[in-house]
Amino acid sequence: MIPLIYAHRGASGRHPENTMEAFHAARKRRADGIELDVQLSQDDKVVVIHDHRLERTTNGSGAIRDHTWEQLKKLRADKGHGHPQRNRPRRIPSLREVLHTFAPTSLRFCIELKNFFHPQPHLEESVIELIHRYDLAERTVVSSFNFNSLLTVKKLDPRIKTGLLYVGPLQHPWEVGAQYQADELHVPEDQLSPSLVAEAQANGFRVLGWTLDSASRIQAAAQMGVDGIITNYPGRARKALAQL
């Protein structure tokens, strides 16, 4: 089975992360899906950005939560990147804009709730409402480092798949996954092993590895039998998998 390729923050190896440009590029490079990070603006709009502050990726400053959507959407989100490609927007997108744009395609979505360090009241409800609005429950997984949030998602709509996203080693991640009713385990690259993949799958979980960027590691993960690969370089991943 060929694993699914999810472009991490879009095709962020070559494009500004979490922008429409990076998401369009991911599709062009034949990713099956995009991974994107979401949080709330001051006025509770679901916005697509990784950090809790603006400085690293935009020309703004301060916390996302201290800015309204009107303010956020005017910022440039391409800090550290060169020329724009084909005038694709390089702003902070809203989740609505991303789903509206790609709902008519076959692209999948891995929506990561960025609510581990900073509480985001009702982020789960807002995200699910958008998934429903665009009828995307079948091709979306919601992930988070905040495991309680995954339970909230399941409570709101058991049809929506959830991914237990973790960093530190978990001895039996499938046990934690079961405790939080997750469907998938999103396993850091350094913890992937054939036995972990086999045991997780035997316990009913799909396994996605993150973040895999070299061709050899992508191929090794595929040979372990992972169900999906999260990568900054979807084009490279597609080529690496074709060579197996």
Nearest to Ca ion by Cβ — which residue? 112
Question: Which of Ca ion, ligand G3P, none does residue 21 bind (CB under 5 to 8 Å by kind)?
Answer: none
227 binds, among ligand G3P, Ca ion, none (CB under 5 to 8 A by kind): none
Pick what 210 binds: Ca ion, ligand G3P, none; C-beta below 5 to 8 Å, kind-dependent: ligand G3P
Q: Among residues 8, 15, 24, 186, which one is catalytic?
A: 8
Handedness of CA 22, 24, 30, 35 (dihedral sign): positive
Rounded Cα–Cα distance for residues 68 and 45 (Å):
8
Residue with smaller CB distance to Ca ion, 37 or 124? 37
Residue 6 CB, nearest approach to ligand G3P (Å): 8
For 33, list phi and psi in degrees, rounded to 5.
-155, 175
- Give CA–CA dist 49/232, Å, rounded: 15
Residues that bind Ca ion (CB under 5 A): 37, 112
Whether residue 15 lies in the annotated active site: no
E-strand spans in the chain? 4-8, 33-40, 46-48, 108-113, 140-144, 161-165, 184-188, 206-210, 228-231
The residue ranges that bind ligand G3P (CB under 6 A) are 8, 35, 37, 50, 112, 143, 165, 186, 210, 230
Contact partners, residue 159, CB within 8 Å, separation at least 6: 137
Is 100 a known active-site residue?
A: no
| Residues recognised as catalytic | 8, 50
